[in-house]
Amino acid sequence: MGVDRRTIPPAIVSIVLIALFSLVLPALDRSIDHEREIEAGDVVNLGSGITFVPEVGWGLKDGLLVGHDTVSRVEEGSHLGATLVHGGVTFTVTTGAFTGTPDELLDRVHSLNEAFKRVDSGTHGSERVTATTDGGATGVAQSFTGVNVDGVITTFVIDGVGIEFVVSGPPGSLDVNTDAINDMIASLAADRPEVAR
């Protein structure tokens, strides 16, 4: 009992196209290592009028810069993110609508991280401390340490927008970049003066 030969071409076409979209394209994407190197004067756009100043020399893997305009307007209420990398350290910013306190936001972040298993179960978190931006906004920061990772999560809430910074890297990698990391977080700003608090 052989295969019905008429059904072979559609089967092969389907297998090839499924493999193209689910395996080949992701592999191709991973193979392209591309970052936009941050230059003096660059500012990252997080939407809703919120920005921060990235460290010169770091690589922008994902995110939009102020002044590098998009055709489709970044809407008033839109929430953007960004990812920067440097020497094994990954600096990720996520924004979204949030009306609670920075402390509550950090609780939410922990519960999402747990659900998505973003952090090893063996990772140990420190006490929460206050973080402050140059503009005077206050947030909450918490360091975490694991066998293979060091990191810090910092949260702010500005005018109904929750902002989460996650910085992580191999043990010791954050220490040599402490000033750059703190400067970037402190540069967080809202372009509407009345909303910065």
Nearest distance from C-beta of residue 161 to another protein, angstroms: 10
Nearest distance from C-beta of residue 176 to another protein, angstroms: 28
Query: Tokens for 174?
Result: 């954050």
Of 81 and 145, nearer to another protein (C-beta) is 81
Angle at alpha carbon of residue 18, lines to 14 and 21, rounded to 5°: 140
User: Which of 41, 57, 100, 122 is close enough to bind another protein by CB under 8 A?
Assistant: 100
d(CA 95, CA 78): 9
Mark the segment that binds another protein (CB under 8 A) among 60-68, 126-134, 142-150, 168-176.
Answer: 60-68
Mark the segment that binds another protein (CB under 8 A) among 93-101, 119-127, 177-185, 187-195.
Answer: 93-101
By the rule CB under 8 A, 6 interacts with another protein:
yes
Q: Hunting for tokens 């770091």 — which residue is that?
A: 58
Nearest distance from C-beta of residue 132 to another protein, angstroms: 21
Report the site for another protein in 62-81 (rule: CB under 8 A).
Answer: 62-64, 68-73, 79
By rule CB under 8 A, what count of residues binds another protein? 53
Nearest distance from C-beta of residue 32 to another protein, angstroms: 5
Binding map of another protein across residues 101-130, x = CB under 8 A, - = no contact: ---xx--xx-xx--xxx-------------
What are φ and ψ of residue 170, in 5° steps? -60, 155
